[in-house]
Chain A
Amino acid sequence: MMGKIHIRHGRVIDPANEIDRIGSVYIADGKIASVAEEPAGFKADIVIDASNQIVCPGFIDLSVRLREPGHSRKATFKSETRAAASAGVTTMCLQPDTNPVIDTAAVAELIKELAEKANYPQVYPIAALTQKLEGNELSSMLALKEAGCIAVSNANQPIRNLLILRRAMEYAASHDLLLMFRPNDYWLGNNGCAHEGPVATRYGLPSIPDAAETIALDQCLELAELTRCRVHFGQISCKRSVIKIHQANKYGLNVSADVSIHQLHLTENDIKPFDSAYHVLPPFRTEADKQYLRQGLASGTISSICSDHQPHDIDAKLGAFPETDPGVSSLETLLPLMLKLVSQHAITMEQGIAALSEQPARILQLRSGALTPGFPADVCVFDPDMDWQINKQNWHSRGVNTPFWNQTFKGRVTHTLQAGKVIFCVPSYR
């Protein structure tokens, strides 16, 4: 039922409209009706009391894997969209490394269908930049765009050479497609699994230098200049990437960047000996890198935070560290870890919310990420002071691969609305 909803007595924070006040949000016909005066003749079907809670735009996640199609052993649209809803996430961009790869309109349509069936329609497929992500031939980007793909990306797969990347970027630019690029030089990465630093040296782990990221970033920046393709850098992990993006923007190149939430909290020193929960790509780097990423976020050089959600089955993480699959199941720690940044004074609450809503919407050129009247009513209501533990009872994702398992966090989503529909309500508030 898509009735009229009145969310009242909450602290409404809407960075895009510079709103931060105690008040109401009125929703009708799946859209934001008002955040100020009660619309004439408004009669709420549902009233949500948000006293002592924060009401903000629903979160937009720039990089997730939901493991369908192809890896439903790990997770499904049903399980992961449920996790997203419980985390206040109302829009997700799905990386193209599904099986089959998102390189045809048919697969893009299948994904839209899977999302509809899971009652969570706002999943945007990201199209493969090259066919089968093999880095050799261009995908049918226009057809993919028309089938609903929001951007193009080669996920974590290498492009054969820079000429192919150049042409892919030119072609993407011709159709005004955004390139989402995780910078990583495949050869320098050398099949590593940990940051090239003292910890990898001590444990004899194959390592990845930060130059693997910065060199690929440099090359892509040069090609962005040459091709005028819109580029968004995903999941950057080191200090010099922040500096390079800052400089590029200063000299007039319009590029954006995000960082995954766990990179803002963990470093190589946090890795428990051979604990595969800490196996991620890019790897956890140094304390200095972490501080630079935080500063980059505070200064706006890095505009967005993504979850980089990668749920795994237990077997994928059960083995010696280098042999396990990389990635963290991270949708459900997105908000509490963002709030931790606020409580540690790394960023303000407004910046944190903007990095999860207004900014990703801007990057994707979506009419959402704000509580602007007429926009889809994607809303997250959360209690910033509620303590909760990451455990089996509270967890929705099929993947339990998180280094934060059993930890207690402050800040929990109580209600999530997607296009005016309540898609999540925390049990204690029912």
Chain B
Amino acid sequence: MGYVAVKGGSDAIAASLAAVERKRLERGLTLDLARIQAGLRPLLDQVMSEASLVDEQAAALAVKQAQGSPEEAVFFLRAHRSTLPRLHTTATLDTASMLLERRISATFKDVPGGQILGASVDYLHRLLRFELMNETDADAAHAAASILPTEAAPSPADLTAPRVSDVLRREGLLPDVPPDPTEPADVTTMSLSIPAPRSARLQVLTRGQTGTVTSLGYASLRGYGPMLHPTVGELRVGWLPVEVADPMADSDDEDERYHVGHVQATEVETFVPVHETSADGQDRLRFDIGYGFCFGQNETKAIAMSLLDRTLETPGAAAVHDEEFVLLHVDSVESSGFISHLKLPHYVTFQSELQAVRDTQREREGDAS
């Protein structure tokens, strides 16, 4: 019998993982998926949006395993997505047919279709409600019974409304844009090349880390960007019917499509004033539209995304106009992964650098003497 390898690494990892599991369970309490789905909706929405996978149950499991860390939960869901074959592509979603839960416009008080405040925390006082510290399921059921809409009230889910931008277009206030039938890019099946088509940019932004997209959007407003105050033409939150063409049919007949369910989404159109100099040297102002779309209710992110959509469409010196800067750095899995890899051993590279440093120092000392 000869020498055998030390199993140090294997043992250390096993012990470390056991410690993680013990920390998760040591208080003898576990998180029920139903409770996560019931009580952590904004977190699930954020995670599904960044993961680009709408599966509430899988997202709840990811949140449970991640112990509430959005970064980790997105990581779990993205990895899960890599195991799933792509079976179908849905028919193009028409967001004008969105069943609205909420729809506001900052442009006109009297917007066609009406302002629907829906469920929003915009006007919530952020005061800790200490009475909730001991809230029981019975309390929750009792309180909910007094809040839920009665049968007489209209269900908001039946509502649709024309897009504000379509109304303005009909009045000639926004330029008419013909639909672009080009097949959109898919950055998950093809590697992103720069300059990227707008569809790829929008896809990267909608998958972007909420905080990063928000911060970059904020920077563009505050001073590192065009600094033109945009107006939220429309923000809508609601449910979109998802349909898939009959895979056996020769042509995509709308009546032959299969309805596979609804997804909740947030859609934003911001109107951005743009200076324009016409051929005769006249300065003019017109509106351009910035577009934001996220799965779930993610309003800040969707608005920030619409700002970045605009800045990426226009040239400028600030970083928010730079496609590579924005698109290659907003992904949660990529940024957190590369930052955290700095914790990995770098013995070999460091040894090699150490050698180079010592050599040059020796050489310099040699030069001096």
The judgment on whether A and B are partners is no
| Chain A interface residues (CB < 8 Å from chain B) | none
Using a CB–CB distance below 8 Å, which chain B residues touch chain A? none
